[in-house]
Amino acid sequence: MEHADWTAEELREHGAAALDWVARYLENIRERPVLPSIRPGGLLEAIPAEAPLEGEPMEAILADFERTVLPAVNHWNHPRFHGYFSVSASGPGIVGELLSAALNVNGMLWMSCPAAVELELAVMGWLRRWLGLPEAFFGMIHDTASTSTLHAIGAARAAADPDLRENGARPGMVLYTSEHAHSSVEKACMALGIGRKNVRKIGVDSAYRMRPDLLGRAVAEDRKAGLRPFCVVSTVGTTSVTSVDPVREIQAVAAREGLWHHIDAAYGGAAAMLEENRWMLDGAGEADSLVMNPHKWLFTPIDCSAFFCRRPDALRLAYSLTPPYLASQEDPKAVHLMDYRIALGSRFRALKLWFVMRHFGFRKVCSIIRQHIGWARELAEEIRAHALFEVAAPVTMSLVCFRLKAGDEATRALLRKVNESGAAFLSGNVLDGRFVARIAIGNIKTTREDVRQTWDAVRRAGEELAGGA
């Protein structure tokens, strides 16, 4: 029988060429500038407006990939990509992703692919134990932390207002989070119709941790005003400075006030797996939900966001709806993931995480993360010891926020200079009204030498700017 797709022989040939390209790319990635020098619209102009009428040979497509696409790629997998939260796709994760594309299953229902559903539940069980969460937490995988948090807040609201499913949302529902929480919390409230004006940004202490006393006060004031407090979101590893909100104390307020407590540990969850960092998630076992992103600091290719929820009944209340064509097994062991989320279908994301967790194992994963944290502390010491620089926030994980003492303009110029050099990529932020540069360490291929090279590039740029260069 004729078909249009490749023969096994063609797949072998082109697949081997692509895999060889991947191996060479990763082997020689340090030779590339971390960021491309391309202006907005540059790639768009280079791509024809019309897709081809007749097919083209793979060689031509791969050559164009190298010539046209690659020059516009930010090399996130580069060991000196330190911007945002530095991440990496490890070898086992890449292989897992490849196999999942080949299987091309959809994990919407148990019967749509038992393996996708049950491996997802199994690896979420593994990760739950790595995080030290109790068995009562049901785990599933979303694409991003933003989606996980949206699901948590939607479920929290449904739990507080069971009529919502039929009648729509009541007004006046109020959510609390810290002024350093990720924008995804507020965005979820916009999308869910809660409204930004019903998001209370609770103040922080001198280490950027949410203040439980201010939380309690805000809830009391809102109740007095006739509003309906329903949810608090704490953060373990804030994006700005990786501060850790006092989870246990926030949980105490949540329990007293009947609030759903969601923990955003998208980045910090990985750090909290280390024995010496267990305090970071102290009290999390009593919270209602938690997100941790393996695609951030667990060496898994994007996308993979682990969402844990102690109240799966609330997820079902908020998100289950089964049209007749999807009616399926009633067996309680047959879990249908579509009942716990907005999306019907999902990729087989668990496979890549399973490869990563099995291949490295808990001890190795912890030792890599521990090294990253150690290098961040060493780097902070170097920065502190230099007359031109200062560290801008405590280093709790593997993020170092710093600036030039000369001020915002100088720090912005420093960032531009380092990033344009291609030696490393750092991102910036505004902290307490002042501009700071951020160096995050989180790539599995990063070595101590890479961190030293990054610091050399930063130091040199700072000294040149101070010397008027």
Does position 82 interact with ligand PLP (CB under 6 A)? The reply is no
Nearer to ligand PLP, 182 or 341 (CB): 182
Q: Which segment (97-105, 140-148, 205-213, 272-280) binds ligand PLP by CB under 6 A? A: 140-148
Nearer to ligand PLP, 198 or 235 (CB): 235
Nearer to ligand PLP, 240 or 454 (CB): 240
Nearer to ligand PLP, 210 or 465 (CB): 210
Q: How far is the CB of 81 from ligand PLP (least distance, A)?
A: 14
The encoded tokens of residue 146 equal 């933003």
CA proximity to 238, closest of 381, 440, 77: 440
Does position 86 interact with ligand PLP (CB under 6 A)? The reply is no
- 176, 230, 267, 360: residue in contact with ligand PLP (rule CB under 6 A): 267
Nearer to ligand PLP, 241 or 259 (CB): 241
Does position 293 interact with ligand PLP (CB under 6 A)? The reply is yes
Q: How far is the CB of 109 from ligand PLP (least distance, A)?
A: 25
End-to-end CA distance of the chain: 69
Listed in sequence order, the residues at least 6 apart from 173 whose beta carbon sits closer than 8 Å to its beta carbon are 157, 160, 161, 194, 198, 227, 228, 230
The interface with ligand PLP within residues 150-189 (CB under 6 A) comprises: 182, 184
- 189, 231, 266, 440: residue in contact with ligand PLP (rule CB under 6 A): 266
> Rounded CA gap, 87 and 443, in Å?
5
Nearer to ligand PLP, 266 or 439 (CB): 266
Burial 233-250 (b: 16+ CB within 10 A, else e): bbbbbbbbbbbbbbbbbb
Antiparallel, parallel or unpaired: β 305-309 and 389-391: unpaired
Nearer to ligand PLP, 112 or 240 (CB): 240
Nearer to ligand PLP, 83 or 285 (CB): 83
Does position 399 interact with ligand PLP (CB under 6 A)? The reply is no
The interface with ligand PLP within residues 217-256 (CB under 6 A) comprises: 235, 237, 239
User: Which residues are paired to 236 by β-bridges?
Assistant: 244
> Rounded CA gap, 164 and 409, in Å?
50
- 145, 356, 365, 461: residue in contact with ligand PLP (rule CB under 6 A): 145
Q: How far is the CB of 239 from ligand PLP (least distance, A)?
A: 4
The encoded tokens of residue 335 equal 């879990």
Q: Is the peptide bond preceding residue 303 cis, with omega within 30 degrees of 0?
A: yes
CA proximity to 283, closest of 232, 216, 238: 232
- 85, 138, 297, 307: residue in contact with ligand PLP (rule CB under 6 A): 85
Does position 264 interact with ligand PLP (CB under 6 A)? The reply is yes
State the residues that interact with ligand PLP by CB under 6 A: 84-85, 144-146, 182, 184, 235, 237, 239, 264, 266-267, 293, 305
